[in-house]
Structure formats: structure tokens, C-alpha cells
């Protein structure tokens, strides 16, 4: 009987000790954050004109394959794009959603006309894209994430408002958590 009581107390003590250890619910390590937010990007982008100071405003919805192809998510951006010679500069916000796990923050970047890149014949303007995404908050796996991600690739602009054009490239990350 005494032996059974000692075992019960040991088990209860172990449960109390484990319950007292702080656990970051949903957060993952830096290596895992990197694998979750790095991958090939395939999707579309479209734009529409809005009043100044933004000369054109667009929403970019891109399907992102990450974690060595085992996970995928959606990268959405709302940006203000300011045209300049041979391209544009942009600023805005982004959200990367993978189920209930999200990253969000600010985006800055450039689109530059680059006729050395190839697009399907029906699309008029190949643009080299390079966007810097600065993480400001995260939920779930990304709860304690910080750092930056870079989206680089090609957008094949159809040159028409509210007409989607394909976007392909890579999303790389330097996230910490």
C-alpha cells in the first residue's frame, strides 16, 4: 500500500512539474520556421487604378508551396504601386496564411520591365519582381516569428486593369522565433 502511494505521489509530482514548464503554444523553432516559409511561388496578380497618391492599387493572390512540398499556403498582398521609368516601386501589407497559421507585416519592393524573361505569348510585359516582406506578427506556428522574407520572380502583366497575369518565383525567409 505504501509503495502504491509513493508511485501515485511521484506521478502527481511529475504532472505538476511538467505543467509548470512554460510551453509556447503553436510556436516552432527557427529551422522549422524557415522550412515553413520558403518555397516556390505560383499564382496570379492583378491591379486596378485608384486615386492619388497611389497611381495603381492591386491585390496579389499567390499560391505558395512550402516545407519541401508538404505544406502550402496563400500569400496575399495589398500594395500601393508608384510607376517610374521601366517599372514601379511599391509599399503595402501582406499576409501569409497556412490554415490557421499566419504571418503578416509590411512589404516594399520593385517591379522592373525585363524583356530577357519569358512569358506566355498572350501576355505583354514581363516584369522582374523583388519584394521584401517584414514580419510584424504571427499566429499559430508563427506566433513568435520575426525577421524578413523575400519574394523574387517574374510577373507577366497583361497590361489590362483587373486582368490576372501569372506570377512565378521563390519565397525565401530569414525568420527567427
What HEC string does 34-74 produce?
HHHCCEEEEEEEEEECCCCCCCEEEEEEEEEEECCCCEEEE
Q: Evaluate whether residue 5 is within a structural domain.
A: no
With 70 as the cut, is the pLDDT of residue 52 above it? Answer: no
Give the confidence band of 131 by pLDDT, cuts at 50, 70, 90: very high
With 50 as the cut, is the pLDDT of residue 168 above it? Answer: yes
Q: Evaluate whether residue 67 is within a structural domain.
A: yes
Residue 130: predicted pLDDT:
95
Q: Evaluate whether residue 129 is within a structural domain.
A: yes
Neighbours of 148 (CB within 10 A): 14
Q: How far apart are CA 59 and CA 109, in angstroms?
A: 14
Residue 34: predicted pLDDT:
65
Q: How far is CA 13 from the centre of its chain?
A: 43
What's the mean pLDDT in 141-149?
A: 92
What's the mean pLDDT in 91-120?
A: 91
What's the mean pLDDT in 22-50?
A: 67
Residue 22: predicted pLDDT:
31
Residue 127: predicted pLDDT:
93
Q: Evaluate whether residue 132 is within a structural domain.
A: yes
Q: Evaluate whether residue 19 is within a structural domain.
A: no
Give the confidence band of 72 by pLDDT, cuts at 50, 70, 90: confident
With 80 as the cut, is the pLDDT of residue 18 above it? Answer: no
Q: Which domain holds residue 137?
A: 27-176
**Has this prediction a pTM greater than 0.85?**
no
Give the confidence band of 56 by pLDDT, cuts at 50, 70, 90: low
Cell numbers given for 151: 519574394
Total domains in the fold of the chain: 1
Q: Evaluate whether residue 14 is within a structural domain.
A: no
Q: Evaluate whether residue 1 is within a structural domain.
A: no
- Contact status, residue 81 vs residue 56, Cβ threshold 8 Å: yes
Averaged pLDDT of the chain = 74
Q: How far is CA 17 from the centre of its chain?
A: 37
Q: Evaluate whether residue 123 is within a structural domain.
A: yes
Amino acid at each position: 500500500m505504501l509503495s502504491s502511494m509513493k508511485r501515485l505521489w511521484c506521478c502527481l509530482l511529475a504532472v505538476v512539474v511538467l505543467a509548470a514548464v512554460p510551453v509556447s503554444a503553436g510556436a516552432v523553432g527557427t529551422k522549422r520556421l524557415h522550412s515553413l516559409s520558403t518555397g516556390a511561388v505560383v499564382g496570379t496578380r492583378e491591379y486596378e487604378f485608384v486615386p492619388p497618391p497611389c497611381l495603381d492599387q492591386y491585390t496579389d493572390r499567390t499560391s505558395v508551396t512550402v516545407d519541401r512540398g508538404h505544406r502550402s499556403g496563400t500569400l496575399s498582398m495589398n500594395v500601393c504601386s508608384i510607376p517610374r521609368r521601366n517599372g514601379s516601386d511599391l509599399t503595402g501589407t501582406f499576409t501569409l496564411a497556412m490554415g490557421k497559421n499566419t504571418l503578416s507585416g509590411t512589404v516594399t519592393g520593385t517591379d522592373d520591365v525585363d524583356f530577357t524573361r519569358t512569358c506566355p505569348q498572350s501576355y505583354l510585359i514581363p516584369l522582374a519582381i523583388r519584394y521584401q516582406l517584414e514580419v510584424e506578427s504571427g499566429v499559430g506556428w508563427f506566433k513568435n516569428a520575426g525577421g524578413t522574407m523575400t519574394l523574387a520572380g517574374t510577373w507577366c502583366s497583361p497590361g489590362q486593369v483587373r486582368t490576372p497575369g501569372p506570377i512565378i518565383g521563390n519565397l525565401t525567409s530569414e525568420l527567427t522565433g
